[in-house]
Each structure stands twice: as structure tokens, then as C-alpha cells.
Amino acid sequence: MTKKYARFLPTADSFKLEDFPYYWVSQVNAQYVQNIDNVLKKYGLDNSRRRILIALDVKPHASVSELSDMVISKMSTTTKIVYRLKDEGYIETYSCNEDGRITRVYLTDKGKEMITKINDLTSVILEQSFDGLTPLQIEKTMEILKHMFKNLAR
């Protein structure tokens, strides 16, 4: 690793946890998930199920594999969540016409109603998290995070 990154790495002699970028990425994510889980409790949901519902809202009739990729989750975990959401009446599944081995998933009317509720609740949390930031700062943060993600996904 080059010296220009040394102060951000745990191997540095003068390392401080507060200087490690992933400490803050983890902290922000953990606090966000905690806040999301707290507001979703009133609907009997959690963040894992919310993520699948949101992914289906963005990509209707996605396969379980596509959902797994979208939410960056193991296929087995995604499958469990999908069937739990199905049992709860938020989604339905069917075998793909082109390839019967592929299971496709779509939102039911109940699932679409839940998306509206989820979006209302999460918009409050997003506004809270962005308090004091300009739209330009938020856009720049997203650019940086996307860049880092692409670096890691190589």
C-alpha cells in the first residue's frame, strides 16, 4: 500500500479508528438499519424484508437470483426471505416460462401498499440523515461510495 493511504489504515503506527473510512461506513449503515428496523416494527417488518420489497418495486418479476444480486445477499438467505414474504402475502412467485428452474417474484397488492408505507417511513429517516448537508454534498458522497463499490467489486 502506498504511503498516501497510510494514515487511513489500521497498520499505521499513528492509526486512529476515527480515521478508518470503513469504520464510518459501518457506523452509518448500522445506525441506518437500526433506525429503519425501529420504524418498520409497527408493520412487523425488518430491513432484510424491506430491501427485497424495494428491489421488487424497482425490478418487478425479478428472479430470486437477481434479487440476491441486487441486495447483495447469499442466495439461500434471499430465498428464505422471499418465502417468508410470500407467506406474509406481500409477494407471489412463479416458475419462469423460458426456464422452469428460475423462480420469478412479484409484489402483490398488499406488497405494493407496504411499499408506500415503507417509503413514507424511510423518507423521514433519510431527511434526518441528510440534515445539514447540501444536495451537492449528498451527490458527491454517492459518487465516492459508487466508486469505492466498483473498486471492491472488481
The 10s digit of each residue's pLDDT in 10-21 is: 877 778 888 888
Predicted confidence (pLDDT) at residue 68 exceeds the cutoff of 70? yes
pLDDT at 20: 87
Confidence category of residue 129, pLDDT binned at 50, 70, 90: very high
For residue 90 the three cell numbers come to 406481500
pLDDT, mean over the chain? 92
Predicted confidence (pLDDT) at residue 1 exceeds the cutoff of 70? no
List the chain domain ranges.
36-115
The 10s digit of each residue's pLDDT in 39-57 is: 999 999 999 999 999 999 9
Q: Cα 74 from chain centroid? A: 13
Predicted confidence (pLDDT) at residue 2 exceeds the cutoff of 70? no
Predicted confidence (pLDDT) at residue 85 exceeds the cutoff of 90? yes
pLDDT at 67: 97
Confidence category of residue 97, pLDDT binned at 50, 70, 90: confident
Fold held by 36-115:
Arc Repressor Mutant, subunit A (1.10.10)
User: Phi and psi dihedrals of 79, rounded to 5?
Assistant: -60, -45
* CA pair distance 39, 98, nearest whole angstrom: 40
Nearest to 78 by CA among 55, 60, 99: 55
Q: Which residues pair with 115 in a beta bridge?
A: none
Q: How large is the average pLDDT for residues 89-104?
A: 93
